[in-house]
Amino acid sequence: MDTPPRRARLKHENGAAAPKTGAGAAESGNAYSIGVLNKAMDILALFTPARATMTLRQVVEETGFPKTTAFRILSSLVEHRFCEFDKDAQTYSLGFELLRLADIRRRQTDVHSVAIPVMRELRDAIEETVVLSVRSGENRVHIDVIEGLHPMRRTADLGVSAPLHAGAASKVLLSGLSDDEIEAYLKTAPLTRFQKNTITDKKLLWKEIQAIRTRGYAESKGELISGGRAVAAPIRDFAGRTVAVLDVLTPEQRYNPQHRERCIRLLIEGARKVSQKLGYRG
């Protein structure tokens, strides 16, 4: 269901009081919502990176609230440090209390617990093994795995590591680093050849990194294990950093064009779901 425009919704709220039950409750979505708190949330939502400060007049114009109502709400937000007021400029901005609460929420959010339900959904949809991995220094490490449903399937052992240049998941983590970090890695890490498809040339590896960044996923055709195929997509946090990677493992025999396309599509969607739960809005 489409959400009504903010201005339209706010003007509706400033008209006749909506009933707490029946049609009014269904429209608001919550029969127990508190009007003044809704108004405070609407004011906080006005601030954006492009509009970091606002005057009282601007708040009134954007919300349609009476001036006295907007002033009282802003005063309460300032009192509780959710907003700050610049007396010289007569402008309001977001306060640091929001940052404190956001940090608590981020610490509560563990990529593992967020990813597991999505991994199960992905495994059930494509019936292949799904792996969650993170970077540890110059390596990629498996931290969880949901095994595939086929009698013949690829498996992954927890705690097993691999260098960042070999395999789909490893290359996703490598591509998520800054260019300077990648250069530092390439200067010190030996680009060991595990299979004939392992990329060991630095120029070719850089080309692969750029391709991964552009298309949003990595692919491996027997780079670590002969006969194995894999696709991987990044999991990003609220700041856009690649903090983990989802990896789909499948035997070469099943990796036909139709299965490949389905795996990539559902994998990217799954990684996007996890990233959004971690606060990513890219």
- For the four alpha carbons of 160, 164, 169 and 173, in that order, the dihedral sign comes to positive
Does pLDDT of 142 surpass 50?
yes
Categorize the per-residue pLDDT at 161 as very low, low, confident or very high, splitting at 50, 70 and 90: confident
The CA–CA distances, whole Å, from 33 to 4, 8, 17, 75 equal 17, 18, 13, 21
Under CATH, to which class is 6-105 assigned? mainly alpha
Categorize the per-residue pLDDT at 125 as very low, low, confident or very high, splitting at 50, 70 and 90: very high
Neighbour tally for 234: CB within 10 Å: 27
Closest listed residue to residue 117, CA positions, set 276, 273, 280: 273
At a CB cut-off of 8 Å and minimum separation 6, what does 219 contact?
168, 229, 230, 231, 232, 264
This prediction's pTM: 0.66
Q: Do domains 6-105 and 109-277 have the same CATH topology?
A: no
- CATH no. of 109-277: 3.30.450.40
Does pLDDT of 256 surpass 80?
yes
In the prediction, which pLDDT does 108 show? 56
- In the chain, what are the domain boundaries? 6-105, 109-277
| 219 token code pair | 């692919």
